[in-house]
Amino acid sequence: MDIRSIWVKTMNVKIMPKLILIFLILILIAGCASPVNLTGKTKKFSITAKQWSFEPGTIRVNLGDIVEIRLKSIDVTHSFILSAFGVNEKLEPGKEIKIEFVADKTGEFSFFCNVPCGRGHNNMNGKIIVA
Ligand SMILES: [Cu+2]
C-alpha cells in the first residue's frame, strides 16, 4: 500500500461522516421550510401614484393572503417597485395595471418609484406590512 492510498483511506474515514452529517442537516432544514398556508383570501387595493407619493402609502395584509393591487399614475410616468415580491411595473399616466402576488413572508417591505419624476422623486415610496 503506497502512501497515497493510505492518505485517501484516512481522508475518507475522516471526511465521510462529516459529509453525511451535513447532508442530513440540509435535509432537515429543507423539511422545516414548509410552504406558507394560504388564507384563501384575496385582499384588493388600489394605489394611485402621483408627484410625489403613493396613495395609500401603507397597506396591511395577512401572511398567506393573495394581494391584488390596481396601480395607476394620475400625472406623469412613475413606476412601482416592490422587490420583495418580484414586482417591477412602469406606470404610464392614465393606464391601470393590475398586479397579484402571495404574501408569503412576514415583515415590512418597501415599494418605491424608480423613474426620475421630479423634485420629490427620492421620497416617493411606501410599504406593505405582512403580519
Ligand atoms: Cu419617481
* Calpha distance 32→88 (Å, rounded): 30
List the alpha helices (DSSP H) in the chain.
3-32
The mean of the pLDDT values for the chain is 91
Query: Residues 8-23: pLDDT tens digits?
Result: 777 777 777 788 888 8
Q: Decide if pLDDT at 111 tops 80.
A: yes
* Calpha distance 77→72 (Å, rounded): 9
Tell me, in angstroms, the distance from the centre of ligand 1 to residue 103's CA. 25
Q: Decide if pLDDT at 26 tops 90.
A: no
Query: Residues 49-74: pLDDT tens digits?
Result: 999 999 999 999 999 999 999 999 99
Tell me, in angstroms, the distance from the centre of ligand 1 to residue 130's CA. 24
CATH number, domain 42-130, options 3.10.20.30, 2.20.25.90, 3.40.50.2300, 2.60.40.420: 2.60.40.420
Tell me, in angstroms, the distance from the centre of ligand 1 to residue 87's CA. 16
* Calpha distance 115→113 (Å, rounded): 6
Quote the pTM value: 0.74
In the structure, ligand 1 is a single-atom ion and the residues with CB under 5 Å from it are 113, 115, 117, 121, 124
Report the pLDDT value the prediction gives residue 32, as an integer from 0 to 100: 64
Beta-strand runs (E) in the chain:
42-50, 53-55, 58-61, 66-73, 78-82, 87-91, 96-102, 107-112, 125-130
What are the boundaries of each domain within the chain?
1-34, 42-130
Residue 115 bridge partners (DSSP):
none
